[in-house]
Structure 1
């Protein structure tokens, strides 16, 4: 190893701050479950999760018999099926109940025979017990938890209607409260609303199921004898070599050992274009080899894979609470007491001014229409859908509060190395002395450097190989602190920096020196190529700026956001990159331990700061920022400190996160406003304040209105799926 072979040139651009550039595709360590799992040491347990799409125990849904207590997000599909079955059977039973109603018969002009008088009580009781069971058992759960909410209101409404109708049928108390047909329709409508709700939540929470489905059922294991056999995914172990055929999915994280292919990584990174992967490159479980077969040595399986970590991040995000959710919870809890109080007042007033029948009917209507169903759904559905949308776009939300704050950010602080740049050197310029050819300078330099392990040497070899053939070199020698020597086609070729020139006692020609001075002025590392002791030319190497970085900076400026860059590199290097990108401000020569001070400085000026970084030394700054964003799936500590993780290494993801923040926050408040406003306006109508002018709202109509309110909230949340988070191509 010749780590110091290049001496003064060794600390090339991007190395001063010690950042280890680790992208989503090129992690430099194995077994990375922890950092992809956002610092959690265990897979998230959903078993106690009662609510919608991971919103926690919000009022009104904490104890759903059909909602709460389900194990994991897969439960939404089961509950949707349960509500669907109960809805259809209850609807079939409700038809004869309605048809046997004397009121309906009189309305439609037909006579109900006396023998049919028991149809409504018998079938109505079945509907109440069978169709109403989720609400009755849910009410018990809510009352046991001392959190009465929506299920308690629904159970109270249908129970009052059932008891009143039953007493009337039995002739007890001289009541005339025949609500059987309204009771049946009320249960049917409530079941329909819950079925649609569960189906919507199941679709929204399908992000986890979709991620799980990315993995194949079996892997093709390559044995020591070269034979390929299929094994269940559970039997795969780290160190195994598997064959991934064209069109097949990578079964677990690993590195390519043979073959190359265009890999579709969109399901993990949100990047729509396939990416070429070759031997030595890392590949991620769930990605697809689109054009040819590859052999992959497995480095992580099961819960240790990137995909499993992303699943945990999505689950944690769907279960994390937001300020808007806390507000909705409090509103739903208060709404129960508001509805109960309104029901009591309604009953008392109508008993005083009307009949017992009217009093019970009005009370039932108030209890039904005041159900905080839409309010209970307002935030959880937005959270579930936004998390699913963001996961598809490669934005992994670890902290919902961080995502909410993202919309208020007015300054974005980018770490330079590995974030705005690729974090590895590349040849940016080649110059030759008069009479020499630039391609020859590059080829000879690469030939001499081929056996070197230095990052600059690897960059030279990679560039030369991409442009053409590289001659064979012999007698390679590493000159510690100066450069390298080798024999190429009978000539001695030396490559190095200023120390090498001093050793040979040569100076570059003036024309070449003008080039190298310009390169050095913008922070590039300069290496000279000598043939038989004479300067043949020079190479400039610098940390390559990501092509997406310019678009990211331009788009942030278009949204009125200040863009700041921070780096441990020399000021001339930092300012050259900043000038190229159009960055507003630069913090240069910053020690790793002082990066969070730059964040604090921007905050003291009144900015709300998002810090974007990928390295261990970015962690304090990520934690101090209003929003910490780890890019390229970063490192363990960066993930743990960040609130938002970008699965790809594209800095334009910051814009996508901001768009998502703005859109989801807007949907939350639209839903809250609608759901709360609906209840405030509808309860007085249900209580009969317009009865003096002839307007009376029947209980069944109240149930329809309540269900329509829920539908409006659900449809509004679904519009989040239309938010364009895709990154424009430059």
Structure 2
């Protein structure tokens, strides 16, 4: 199976998106096809043995639209085209306004007490009155030719869209106006009262303004991608034959030696081979503190070098860099559909043909009742113009675009619209312990001494003894000594005692370092340290005993320390009404100690890596929506099994690949942020759909004259046109409110 993304040109509403989907889904070999109106993209999953990208492009073109394969889309050119489209719409609006303004004064001035000069007044010069209106309306019709071009083409192909409604409505008004002008010139001046030119021109004017505002707003929804794309530098300084050379970013190859000076942006990903510095990675991780880099440290493209000159070997370039991967993740998410969008899609697919039918039926119905062509035409045009499915089509994708973009801004990468929607239903969050709630790296937490020995002396002996050991607990003791800049002593003897600890000789002293079993085996009296060691164990710490010449000298306790924000993140989840569980392979005592420390509700201890997914499934069988948060390879099955898999960004590639959401900062505070963002986005989508559906449910009957039947007002086609434009703009404006989203603190 292959997945391709295509840029689609020529779509104007959700009906267009539906027609493109329908056409591509009919192709043999297509597994799934989804169009996102806001991003103007088509994502197709297909069997490449039965189908090619060319076949898909050809099918889209036969449906009346233009398709371009995503990899062939020039982003800069695409952005320029958007800017050009916005400018063109503004120019069309200004030209339409120049002609529509005088037209409204001439056609409707007398209704508000404005008296026209006699040579163009309705009573004195009906011919001039009509002819001037025709001359003023024609340029507005011509400048809005795209509505007619697209509308008629899609109508003839049997897949009418919003432009078809506008084209039929305004053409009917314009054509009837020409008919009235002919009648006036034939000696029937009463037809001067039946002119519909101002309706046609005003509808086009208002819809063009609506389209302009929509295009500007849609541009704002994709700002997150623009910001990410703008992070990468345009050039790189590389070393060629011992000399520095500045080359375009796209020419950098894996293996090139890149030189970065203070203040420069890192061009591509790589590994430092010379120098040291601090690098600001906040644009990618959201972490404001610069990260120290020395030889063998990894550097990320688009981060900023703060204070030292470094040389590094490029490892990932082009589309393989971390930045490119993030941009792709965000683009894929913005182009994807949330399940909540399906209802709107189904309705949009039938919407336009139904509206045309309703317009014809209501127009003819009123004509037979009133025998008044003008009245019937008013109803016909109003129904066509007010019933635009744009707002329906934009309700979901615009909110998803802004929601996923906002997430990326805070270092929360949401991979799809489905993940964004699923997260708001989460009732239980399961955290893996090691490396997720805890740092994953044991640290010395307590040093207790017995007798005349000092803490530093005890640590010196223990670290010197463990220097040759590869045990993680021993490594933690050695690191503590290094951090305190303690000079280690030379060993005269080293014996590893499996399951117990080690025996060494330092400066002629016989030293045992290990667990209680080692001390018991050598008949060493622990004195009151035994009780203290039990207290340390209940706190989730591992006590290691040190004896010198068969006398107890002290305890060094080592523990995998809790991450700084773990407790706070869990508190916020509780406030949000979310249950929190922890899963670990550790023994129950250690697991319970960590759980108590951070406020965990449920603990799954002594769980083998292969059984983690089964524990997630067990919770789901209780009827709960479960999110799993993990970082290791052994978390991947559980991440895939959960309703929402959340991977820590510092975790393994396998975990990140299996997850629906990736936390770039590796900060658990971003778990409640992801859930809150999902809740806010879904709330926004529901508001948008409510207004979009509500607008049509209320607007269409009013346009059909239902209120008029009961003595109420009749909807003018001009007001219908304005209302239609406002509906689309209001939906996008509501979605833009998500830009004010702030994470939980």
TM class by shorter-chain length? Answer: 0.7 to 0.9
Q: Which runs of 5+ in 1 are unaligned?
A: 1-39
Verify the 8 A CA contact 2:14 2:393 in the aligned structure 1: no
Tell me the equivalent position of 1:178: 195
1:533-560 CA deviation, whole Å, 9 max, x = no partner?
7654332222221111111111112222
State yes or no: 1:78 paired with 2:77.
Answer: no
State yes or no: 1:698 paired with 2:711.
Answer: no
Aligned 1:200-239 pairs, distance under 5 A = 200-222=217-239, 225=242, 228-239=244-255
State yes or no: 1:394 paired with 2:411.
Answer: yes
State yes or no: 1:47 paired with 2:7.
Answer: yes
Tell me the equivalent position of 1:409: 426
Question: Could you tell which deviates more after superposition, 288-297 or 414-423?
Answer: 288-297
Tell me the equivalent position of 1:156: 168
Gap change, CA 1:279 and 1:533, over 3 Å in 2: farther
Tell me the equivalent position of 2:679: 662
State yes or no: 1:720 paired with 2:738.
Answer: yes
Tell me the equivalent position of 2:280: 264
1:227-285 CA deviation, whole Å, 9 max, x = no partner?
54433222333344433333332222233445554433332223344444454443322
Corresponding residue to 1:242 among 248, 252, 258: 258
Gap change, CA 1:278 and 1:630, over 3 Å in 2: same
What is the deviation of 1:525? Answer: 3.6
**Inter-partner Cα distance in structure 1 for 2:38 and 2:250:** 35
Gap change, CA 1:256 and 1:144, over 3 Å in 2: farther
1:585-643 CA deviation, whole Å, 9 max, x = no partner?
11111111111111122122232211111222222222222222122253333233322
Tell me the equivalent position of 2:177: 165
1:655-674 CA deviation, whole Å, 9 max, x = no partner?
01111111111111111111
Verify the 8 A CA contact 1:220 1:230 in the aligned structure 2: yes
Aligned 1:323-342 pairs, distance under 5 A = 323-342=339-358
1:18-64 CA deviation, whole Å, 9 max, x = no partner?
xxxxxxxxxxxxxxxxxxxxxx998x634358879999935799799
Question: Could you tell which deviates more after superposition, 255-264 or 563-572?
Answer: 255-264
Where 2:116 maps in the other structure, the secondary structure is: coil
Tell me the equivalent position of 1:643: 660
Tell me the equivalent position of 1:87: 90
Q: Report the TM-score when normalising by structure 2.
A: 0.82
Q: Which runs of 5+ in 2 are unaligned?
A: 22-34, 41-64, 121-126
State yes or no: 1:435 paired with 2:452.
Answer: yes
Gap change, CA 1:565 and 1:694, over 3 Å in 2: closer
**Inter-partner Cα distance in structure 2 for 1:333 and 1:694:** 32
**Inter-partner Cα distance in structure 1 for 2:148 and 2:616:** 53
Tell me which of the two structures has the higher relative contact order, counting C-alpha pairs closer than 8 angstroms and 6 or more residues apart.
Answer: 1
Aligned 1:670-681 pairs, distance under 5 A = 670-681=687-698
Tell me the equivalent position of 1:300: 316
**Inter-partner Cα distance in structure 1 for 2:96 and 2:464:** 85
**Inter-partner Cα distance in structure 2 for 1:66 and 1:118:** 44
What is the deviation of 1:676? Answer: 1.0
Where 2:706 maps in the other structure, the secondary structure is: coil
Tell me the equivalent position of 2:48: none
What is the deviation of 1:159? Answer: 2.5
Aligned 1:549-628 pairs, distance under 5 A = 549-628=566-645
State yes or no: 1:708 paired with 2:714.
Answer: no
Corresponding residue to 1:109 among 109, 115, 118: 115
Verify the 8 A CA contact 1:54 1:318 in the aligned structure 2: no
Tell me the equivalent position of 2:559: 542
Tell me the equivalent position of 1:686: 703
Where 1:409 maps in the other structure, the secondary structure is: coil
Where 1:318 maps in the other structure, the secondary structure is: helix
**Inter-partner Cα distance in structure 1 for 2:730 and 2:38:** 24
Where 1:45 maps in the other structure, the secondary structure is: strand
**Inter-partner Cα distance in structure 2 for 1:410 and 1:187:** 49
Gap change, CA 1:84 and 1:60, over 3 Å in 2: farther
Corresponding residue to 2:398 among 381, 400, 403: 381
1:178-205 CA deviation, whole Å, 9 max, x = no partner?
3333322222221221121122122212
**Inter-partner Cα distance in structure 1 for 2:178 and 2:36:** 28
What is the deviation of 1:570? Answer: 1.8
Tell me the equivalent position of 1:425: 442
**Inter-partner Cα distance in structure 2 for 1:252 and 1:516:** 50
Verify the 8 A CA contact 2:276 2:292 in the aligned structure 1: yes
Tell me the equivalent position of 2:365: 349
Q: Report the TM-score when normalising by structure 1.
A: 0.84
Verify the 8 A CA contact 1:53 1:205 in the aligned structure 2: no
Tell me the equivalent position of 1:22: none
Corresponding residue to 1:128 among 117, 129, 141: 141
